[in-house]
Structure 1
Amino acid sequence: MTAHTLAGALADDGRRRIFAAIVLGATSAAQVAERTGLPARVVLTGVRRLTDAGLVAGADGALTADEASLRAAARDSRPADNADPAADPVLRTFLRGDVLVGLPAQPKRRRVLLTHIAERSFEPGARYPERAVDEALKAWCAAGGSDHATLRRYLVDEQLLTRAHGIYQRP
């Protein structure tokens, strides 16, 4: 079941009422009709649509919510680990667009954020004077989530930038 299928199945008010009645214990179309006040024909059509979508199971005539199908849909809708960087929860938490709103305290999360900033700001192998590094990092710090000097120090400490004689380079 996809999110689109789920949304389509529950887009109708009548089907939502039918699904709610089943979740709350109605096990037959007659019980669903009684609890929802919907005509039997509407209930039967709604149950069929919910069953086709994978929300309802009708084993042995007893209607139940298909919890396994719902769990699978929730699991399958999660973004993959190699998804777009903007989908990374660390980046979503600490960035607004290309502006830093804070620095994570946890080193692993901070490393994810710093790697993103280094990749977006500096070309590998290019040499940058300190002033150019500061200017690139000031843009990230516009919201006051950190200052450019702290960010520069973290990038060097994490070896995402190297420093020699006032010249910085991304390895």
Structure 2
Amino acid sequence: MDAATIAGLLADPARLKVVAALALGAGTIEEVAAASGLPLRDVALAARRLARGGLVHRDGHALALRTERFGAAARAAAESAPPPERLSSDPAENAVLSTFVRDSRLVSIPAQRSKRLVVLEHLARVFEPGVRYPEREVNALLAAWHPDVAALRRYLVDEGLLTREAGVYWRSGGYVDV
């Protein structure tokens, strides 16, 4: 059983309620109906579909959730997932970036300066050398990474990666890809 099959089985609200009731300890169709607030008929139909799908063991009115199927599907999905994208060719930088950057978003701003510098240098690559950016555009570019654009802007200026004058910013530091 794969994760997509499980997701498909749980996409129906009645089946999801049945699984939730079973996970919380209900063991019969009647107990599931009481716990889920569903009519007995809906519980029976959902239980039949879940049993055919392999998520529930059904023995008359007794039901048991096959929880091991969830773990097996999660492990199989993790094994078949492509490796995470490398954000840097330097292993130490990549380790820091993979901790703080997920799906091209900064999940948090590192408190430790050395890690924050790695992240800021990565963010500075958004700005092209020689191009002047009004503050509004800087905010828009940084908002794509993290909601606290003021903190990111301040850190980039404080670390010499951007320079600011009269509300206009330009890249003044960091590595440049050539």
* Equivalent runs, 1:24-39 vs 2, <5 Å: 24-33=24-33, 35=35, 36=37, 38-39=39-40
Structure 2 stretches lacking a partner, 5+ long: 88-97, 144-148, 163-171
Matches of 2:110 and 2:15 in 1, distance apart?
A: 44
TM-score, normalised to structure 1, is: 0.51
Matches of 2:66 and 2:134 in 1, distance apart?
A: 51
Q: Which residue, out of 121, 132, 146, partners 2:127?
A: 121
Matches of 1:137 and 1:4 in 2, distance apart?
A: 49
| SS of corresponding position for 1:58 | strand
| Alignment size in residue pairs | 138
Matches of 1:88 and 1:53 in 2, distance apart?
A: 33
How much does 1:12 deviate? 3.7
> Kindly, what percent of the aligned residue pairs are identical?
27
Matches of 2:116 and 2:74 in 1, distance apart?
A: 25
| SS of corresponding position for 1:111 | helix
* Equivalent runs, 1:26-105 vs 2, <5 Å: 26-33=26-33, 35=35, 36=37, 38-39=39-40, 41-53=41-53, 56-58=55-57, 63-72=63-72, 76=77, 80-82=83-85, 88=102, 91-93=105-107, 103-105=109-111
**CA pair 110-3 structure 1, distance change in 2 beyond 3 A:** farther
Conserved 8 A contact 2:57-2:63: yes
**CA pair 112-141 structure 1, distance change in 2 beyond 3 A:** closer
**CA pair 90-114 structure 1, distance change in 2 beyond 3 A:** farther
Conserved 8 A contact 1:90-1:112: no
Conserved 8 A contact 1:29-1:44: yes
Q: CA RMSD in A?
A: 4.4
Structure 1 stretches lacking a partner, 5+ long: 95-102, 123-127, 162-168
Q: Which has the higher contact order (CA 8 A, sep 6+)?
A: 1
Deviations 1:92-138 (A, max 9, x none): 335xxxxxxxx5223345414422432x334xxxxx5xxx27x3696
Conserved 8 A contact 1:22-1:32: yes
| SS of corresponding position for 1:144 | helix
Matches of 1:141 and 1:37 in 2, distance apart?
A: 47
How much does 1:4 deviate? 7.6
**CA pair 104-24 structure 1, distance change in 2 beyond 3 A:** closer
